[in-house]
Structure 1
Amino acid sequence: MANPLSADALVAALRREGVTVVEHDGWRTHNRDTKGAWGPVNGVVVHHTVTSGTDSSVALCYDGRSDLPGPLCHGVIAKDGTVHLVGNGRANHAGAGDPDVLAAVVAERATLPAPRQNTTDGNTHFYGFECVNMGDGKDPWPEAQLDAIARASAAICRAHGWHAASVIGHKEWTDSKIDPVGFTMASMRARVAARLAQNPAPAATATSGTTAAPPAKPAKPAYQPFPGAAWFKAAPNSALVTAMGRRLVAEGCSAYKQGPGPQWTEADRDSYARWQRKLGYSGTDADGWPGSASWTALKVPYTG
């Protein structure tokens, strides 16, 4: 729970996270604050637009519709990863949702309850990003766009001291929506967690109506880079396995009866599966074989 970021603070947070920002005319005072409260804020809701094309999608989210005035979000995330800021304050994006979901977000629980009631005003409590996509399961999600969603969400979480569990999909807030379609929110939260485990990347300043220069290349990572899934499946004997195991123990995800040690075993895999579930993964996404996003979030110390 926190007071909303000011316009300047939001822009600064996004740029610190390496986000390319476009500020649209009037966005800093464009809101629905006269229609209800804005804040305290508790999290971020991710949407898809059910539109194509950046310009038309941004215009729709800025102006709204006859039955739903704009802004329809705070930022529109284009397929090229650019974040277009269209609103600051209360926005018509989340609508009514489940108070139990809100309580879970406030507590930053790894598992959300299924939404069953639409009795709580989400526009008071959530920042919203509309992401340009038709939402038909066929329209692709470019890596640049997925990365920008994670960066924008992480920027807000970092600014408020929140964890990745504060980022939810619209369909997780209310049973009346299906967005986003095309990626899982568990995978997006893992991306956000991975971003939050790193220092934010610097980015050049963008002026109103223009995009920022590409972010500077990050310095040498403080933690061990992901060695690849095949490396683990070859049952390695390495100090890196020990370092990973110690991090899993520290995160409360131990399935070890002894150790951890340098030889990869089923105990390592079982422990890593617990870590994946802690991040919000389920099913085959929590099978114990490390992936890039979950590995980055684990912050295994560099072993050389």
Structure 2
Amino acid sequence: MATPLSADALVSALRAEGVTVVEHPGWRTNNRNHKGSWGPVNGVVIHHTVSSGTSSSVSLCFNGHAGLPGPLCHGVIAKDGTVHLVGNGRANHAGGGDPSVLQAVITETYGDRPPAPHEHEGSAGAVDGNARFYGFECVNLGDGHDPWPNAQLDAVERVSAALCRAHGWGSRSVIGHLEWSDWKSDPRGFSMTGMRRRIQTRLAAAPGRGEHPEPPGPPRPPRYQPFPGVSFFQAQPDSPIVTAMGRRLVAEGCGHYRVGPGSRWSEADRASYAAWQRKLGYSGSAADGWPGPASWAALKVPHSS
């Protein structure tokens, strides 16, 4: 058993393991702690979202829905391997599960898989998984046909290893939702037994690196996106440049997004960029939200490729 990581410690652990992290606005205070305990924690539960699209899946997991308030997990693992943090504390993700599975996870004494669960949310013998597990939702329809890109599976491996490493756990502390509750079938499309083998191999190596890492080369200078011109934004583009810009604006405390940022230029992007211009000291028509070369250079938007 372990004390849950603080928000800062969680971000640091994930990034040390090589995870690309996006902090969704408001995630640090988004939790269900008023409904029950959070911790001590014993492991990680992996889910699939039964949805498609990163932005809509992140919004769903942050806010929840009419039948289940958010957050629905701690992080959303997108198809490209990016991990969007949406909750910090108790989250509505695991629900009730089997106490024999919890004991097997705590002791890490099982073989390829934990004992088959015979409990679920609301059943007489179920225990509260929301208090005991970190939860990560992977963007996937869960129909057995939606693919699992290598980048996404690599992120599942890295996220799980990061938490295991932070708490001193082995890979048997990571389970699928279907291994916790007899009502569940997620994640569908890859083997949790195989994933635990991958996690254990990673834990045997240095943080953030593989089993046989290449020697580090000389550091590369950062690559920033050249200013694409005002007309580029006025044409309301759908481009990864817009996403990269939005993430930088959020990082600078200028994000005015209810959902996102996304790849389609919107009034939320313009409002966020205007806040950035004001932060730089511009005012009036010089802070109209349309990017200019000087403010763009100061923002240091990472190259999108």
Query: Aligned AA for 1:201?
Result: G
Counterpart residue number, 1:158: 165
Equivalent positions of 1:124-135 (< 5 A) are 124-135=131-142
Counterpart residue number, 1:54: 54
Counterpart pick for 1:147 among 154, 157, 162: 154
Counterpart pick for 1:183 among 179, 190, 201: 190
Query: Aligned AA for 1:149?
Result: V
For residues 83-117 of structure 1, the C-alpha deviation after alignment (integer angstroms, 9 at most, x for no partner) is 00000000000000000000000001233111002
Counterpart residue number, 1:28: 28
Large movers: runs of 4+ above 3 Å:
206-211
For residues 171-205 of structure 1, the C-alpha deviation after alignment (integer angstroms, 9 at most, x for no partner) is 00000000000001001101111110110128x9x
Q: Report the aligned-residue RMSD.
A: 2.0
- For the residues of structure 1 that align with 2:171 and 2:247, how far apart are their CA atoms? 30
| 1:115 pairs with 2:117 | yes
Q: Is the 8 A contact 1:115 1:172 kept in 2?
A: yes
Query: Aligned AA for 2:145?
Result: K
Equivalent positions of 1:280-295 (< 5 A) are none
Counterpart residue number, 1:194: 201
Counterpart residue number, 1:226: none
- For the residues of structure 2 that align with 1:79 and 1:167, how far apart are their CA atoms? 20
Counterpart residue number, 1:284: none
Q: Is the 8 A contact 2:158 2:208 kept in 1?
A: no
Length-normalised TM-score, structure 2: 0.67
Pick closer, same or farther for the CA change 1:153–1:207 going to 2, 3 Å: farther
Query: Aligned AA for 1:8?
Result: D
Pick closer, same or farther for the CA change 1:7–1:42 going to 2, 3 Å: same
Q: What is the DSSP-based 3-state SS (H/G/I as helix, E as strand, rest coil) of the residue aligned with 1:182?
A: coil
For residues 125-179 of structure 1, the C-alpha deviation after alignment (integer angstroms, 9 at most, x for no partner) is 0000000000000000000000000000100000000000000000000000000
Identity %: 69
Q: Is the 8 A contact 1:22 1:207 kept in 2?
A: no
Query: Aligned AA for 1:113?
Result: P
Pick closer, same or farther for the CA change 1:184–1:96 going to 2, 3 Å: same
Unaligned stretches of 5+ residues in structure 1: 212-304
Unaligned stretches of 5+ residues in structure 2: 121-125, 210-221, 223-243, 250-305
- For the residues of structure 2 that align with 1:125 and 1:182, how far apart are their CA atoms? 25
- For the residues of structure 1 that align with 2:197 and 2:65, how far apart are their CA atoms? 34
Q: What is the DSSP-based 3-state SS (H/G/I as helix, E as strand, rest coil) of the residue aligned with 1:154?
A: helix
Counterpart residue number, 2:66: 66
Query: Aligned AA for 1:65?
Result: H
- For the residues of structure 2 that align with 1:150 and 1:140, how far apart are their CA atoms? 17
Q: How many pairs does the alignment contain? A: 210
Query: Aligned AA for 2:42?
Result: N
Equivalent positions of 1:1-304 (< 5 A) are 1-111=1-111, 112-118=114-120, 119-201=126-208, 209=247
Q: Is the 8 A contact 1:25 1:209 kept in 2?
A: no
Q: Is the 8 A contact 1:24 1:208 kept in 2?
A: no
Length-normalised TM-score, structure 1: 0.67
Query: Aligned AA for 2:87?
Result: G
Query: Aligned AA for 1:168?
Result: I
Q: Is the 8 A contact 1:105 1:165 kept in 2?
A: yes
- For the residues of structure 2 that align with 1:17 and 1:24, how far apart are their CA atoms? 19
How many Å apart are 1:207 and its aligned residue? Answer: 11
Q: Is the 8 A contact 1:23 1:207 kept in 2?
A: no
How many Å apart are 1:2 and its aligned residue? Answer: 0.3
